[in-house]
């Protein structure tokens, strides 16, 4: 398979990625036909399962906490339970004789029996050892049972020896002292290593000139090292505890079987862990291959769509505004399918516990993630409908400002008053959106404002004054030219609306441009002695409600600019 890291295609050659995408898709389809190893080993062949006949229930023979043998066969009409009870009685009689406790094996004509000091205590049948020691002849299996019985008889004899008990107590006390000292040593070493690492880090911070990201990573690495050191210390403590427990119990005949079972349990646990790790390697390799293919597909898709975002690749069905969300959605879908394909190969995927946790997690996500999914769908709808774009000046509900970003969950709007408003996409999707930048050329925005003037003022004069105010405002463009429309003829006044476009030098915040336009309107109307009749008109006041030029610049306000010479003709407004 050729390497997936080829040179990126030039602008307009997005089709060169198609062979790589096709090859990766074919490999992914081949992986889908593979059966997980866990699925092949879950069920046994029907013939093998049918050939295993159920074994009869057994009756164990115990001596000094040790399991000697489990009787399963019937001998001379006696059941396994009766044979076990008889063997217990014979063992107690043999041990009560106070003999040397020698266990021997009796074999004759394919029969086997166990003797204690020359007395038969029980016989062995092939069915008794078929499950415990499968595949061994009766003589070899009987020898194993003889060794078990010999160890148990020796422990019974030892349990009454006061010298052995005193020796065991002394060794137990010595082992306890050594274990305590070793435990203190482990905690001391942990504390010394932690303090030494902290001192080294402090000296490095004092001498190092790097004050940026490396220092932050150093502290994170120090935290990880402390956690690893604590984990290692606790593992050593658990190992010391197991060693101490096993040694102390092994010093006494009555508890020695427990010590042996504890050691066997620990070794069995380590063996099961090692076998589980080794058995999970093929599945993990298959999952890693699936994730590698998914990563290559996601990278190939991302490279193509990033070129569309930059404008170096043109596609008829995709533009620069929707390339970004398409890249994110495509990557999410690829990784979602990769997780679904790799799930059967993960260790424990077929276990009841893993499936139960998966169902519980899915239920929690479905119940608690409905609002999140709604926000994502609304965000994608806004992106693909091209309702909003970053940098556009819009009004959504009562919020007006410049769109800074349109994300999956929310839309952020900068109002121009020192604040940024985060609007949930589901709410934005249900609100009317007024876009002041979509129809304006070159990324500019529309400016419009309304004034109400009484019917006594000629409408042509009002038109001229509003256009004059637009000409004076520094952030209003001359092309396209501003215009005035009469939007309402109310009972007491006429409503005029001035519409204009911002200039290239206008600030990004529309609020500043609107403030300058309003200031220019007030200056022009005051110069011409026309009062703005808002909000209601009841009667003409004795004096016109205008600010004379002498009061335009009080002590706390900056001086008003000197109005330019008004052109003669239709462009100006006559004085009142």
Q: Reduce the DSSP state of residue 535 to 3 states and report it.
A: coil
SS (H, E, C) 279-291: HHHHHHHHHHHHH
Asked if 313 contacts 11 with a C-beta cutoff of 8 angstroms, the reply is yes
pLDDT tens track for 303-342: 888 888 887 877 777 777 778 788 888 898 999 899 888 8
pLDDT above 90: residue 546: no
pLDDT tens track for 211-222: 555 666 777 778
Q: Which residues contact 86 (CB under 8 A, 6 or more apart)?
A: 78, 122
Mean pLDDT of the chain: 77
Separation of alpha carbons 4 and 461, rounded Å: 72
Question: Distances in Å between the alpha carbon of 373 and those of 161, 249, 323, 408, 428?
Answer: 76, 60, 21, 10, 15
Separation of alpha carbons 294 and 334, rounded Å: 6
pLDDT above 60: residue 36: no
Asked if 514 contacts 447 with a C-beta cutoff of 8 angstroms, the reply is yes
Separation of alpha carbons 526 and 469, rounded Å: 11
Separation of alpha carbons 340 and 90, rounded Å: 64
Separation of alpha carbons 277 and 289, rounded Å: 18
Other CB atoms within 10 Å distance of the CB of residue 470? 25
pLDDT tens track for 404-432: 888 778 888 887 777 888 888 888 888 88
pLDDT above 90: residue 178: yes
Question: Distances in Å between the alpha carbon of 250 and those of 177, 230, 399?
Answer: 17, 30, 79
Which of 74, 45, 35 lies closest to 58, judged by CA? 74
């Amino acid at each position: 398979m050729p390497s997936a890291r080829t040179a990126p295609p030039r602008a307009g050659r997005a089709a060169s990625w198609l062979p790589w995408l096709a090859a990766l898709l074919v490999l992914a389809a081949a992986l889908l036909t593979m059966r997980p190893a866990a699925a092949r080993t879950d069920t046994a062949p029907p013939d093998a399962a049918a050939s295993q006949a159920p074994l009869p229930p057994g009756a164990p023979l115990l001596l000094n906490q040790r399991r000697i043998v489990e009787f399963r066969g019937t001998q001379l009409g006696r059941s396994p339970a009766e044979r076990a009870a008889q063997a217990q009685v014979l063992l107690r009689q043999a041990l009560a004789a106070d003999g040397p406790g020698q266990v021997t094996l009796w074999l004759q004509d394919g029969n086997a029996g166990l003797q204690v000091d020359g007395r038969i205590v029980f016989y062995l049948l092939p069915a008794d050892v078929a499950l415990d020691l499968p595949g061994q002849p009766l003589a070899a299996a009987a020898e194993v049972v003889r060794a078990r019985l010999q160890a148990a008889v020796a422990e019974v004899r030892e349990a009454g020896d006061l010298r052995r008990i005193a020796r065991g107590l002394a060794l137990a006390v010595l082992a306890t002292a050594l274990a305590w000292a070793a435990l203190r040593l482990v905690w001391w070493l942990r504390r010394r290593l932690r303090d030494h690492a902290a001192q080294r880090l402090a000296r490095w911070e004092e001498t190092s000139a790097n004050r940026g990201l490396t220092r932050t990573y150093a502290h994170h690495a120090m935290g990880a090292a402390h956690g690893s050191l604590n984990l290692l210390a606790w593992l050593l403590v658990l190992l010391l505890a197991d060693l101490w427990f096993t040694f102390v119990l092994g010093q006494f005949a009555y508890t020695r079987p427990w010590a042996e079972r504890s050691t066997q349990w620990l070794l069995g646990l380590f063996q099961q862990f090692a076998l589980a790790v080794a058995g999970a390697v093929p599945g993990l390799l298959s999952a890693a291959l699936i994730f590698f293919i998914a990563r290559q597909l996601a990278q190939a898709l991302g490279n193509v769509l990033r070129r569309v975002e930059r404008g170096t690749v043109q596609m008829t069905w995709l533009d620069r505004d929707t390339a970004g969300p398409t890249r994110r959605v495509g990557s999410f879908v690829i990784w979602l399918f990769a997780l679904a394909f790799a799930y059967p190969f993960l260790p424990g995927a077929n276990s009841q516990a893993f499936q139960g946790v998966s169902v519980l997690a899915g239920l929690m996500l479905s119940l608690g993630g409905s609002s999140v999914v709604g926000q994502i769908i609304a965000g994608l709808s806004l992106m693909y409908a091209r309702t909003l774009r970053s940098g556009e000046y819009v009004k959504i509900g009562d919020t007006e400002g410049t769109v800074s970003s349109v994300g999956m969950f929310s839309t952020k709007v900068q109002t121009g008053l020192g604040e940024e408003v985060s609007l949930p996409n589901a709410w934005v999707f249900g609100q009317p959106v007024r876009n002041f930048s979509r129809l304006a050329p070159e990324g500019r925005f529309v400016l419009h404002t309304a004034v109400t003037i009484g019917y006594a003022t000629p409408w042509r004069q009002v038109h001229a004054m509003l256009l004059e105010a637009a000409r004076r405002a520094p952030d209003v463009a001359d092309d396209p030219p501003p215009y005035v429309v009469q939007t309402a003829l109310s009972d007491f006044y006429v409503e005029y609306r001035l519409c204009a476009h911002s200039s290239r030098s206008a600030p990004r915040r529309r609020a500043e441009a609107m403030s300058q336009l309003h200031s220019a309107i007030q200056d022009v109307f005051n110069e011409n002695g026309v009062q703005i009749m808002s909000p209601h008109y009841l009667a003409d006041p004795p004096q016109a409600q205008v600010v004379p030029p002498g009061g335009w610049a009080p002590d706390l306000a900056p001086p008003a600019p000197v109005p330019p010479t008004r052109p003669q003709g239709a462009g100006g407004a006559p004085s009142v």
